[in-house]
Amino acid sequence: MGTVIYWVHTSVDGFIEGPNGEFDWPEMGEELSAYSMDLSERAAAFVYGRRVWEMMAAYWPQVESISDHPHDLAFAPIWRRTPKVVVSRTLAEAGHGALVVGGGDLATELAEVRERFPGDLLLTGGTGAATALAALGLVDEFQVIVHPVVLGGGRQVLPGLARQSLRLVGTRTFDGRSVLLRYARA
């Protein structure tokens, strides 16, 4: 069975969004972009919470008309072809062929997702789904990219999650500015 990997960008002070919901601060340099692409290419499915899903579903299907950033243009076809799972208590369907889970027993539903999509499940961004899955002990690896910015407030990484012990399994610097911290459940 694959690994559930929580892949998230954060500020030095531990926020994934600024005080007004800003997400304009992560910089995808060449090295970080290449690592992100490799991680995405290996994923059996992408997993999103509802809020991140809504952002992704609005952006990636039409990215070529919005952005000319090399990372965006390279990721778009990966996003389109990779199966998607949305964790939500409120959505009945999500579009773009995404499977919606979270209306029942989340642990059971995730076990079914793992059977359906053998391989790594890449849980991207957001806090709601990540916190819910981590609280159930269902996140196997945390890959946290720390960017050199202090946001001074906003949406926190994994808010309200009870204490958990993790084991550092790797670090890496990208583009001379961002740092990857890889942790596994202890």
Domain of 39, CATH number, reads: 3.40.430.10
Residue with tokens 């196997």: 140
Q: Alpha-carbon distance 186 to 164, whole Å?
A: 8
* pTM of this structure: 0.94
Q: Are 51 and 126 in contact (CB under 8 A)?
A: yes
Which structural domain, as residue segments, surrounds residue 128? 4-185
Q: Are 128 and 16 in contact (CB under 8 A)?
A: no
Residue with tokens 């890959």: 143
**pLDDT tens per residue, the chain (186 residues)?**
789 999 999 999 999 999 999 999 999 999 999 999 999 999 999 999 999 999 999 999 999 999 999 999 999 999 999 999 999 999 989 999 999 999 899 999 999 999 999 999 999 988 999 999 999 999 999 999 999 999 999 999 999 899 999 999 999 999 999 999 999 998
Contacts of 29 (CB under 8 A, 6+ apart): 174, 175, 177, 178
Residue ranges of alpha helices (H) inside the chain are 30-42, 50-59, 70-81, 106-116, 128-135
**How many domains are there within the chain?**
1
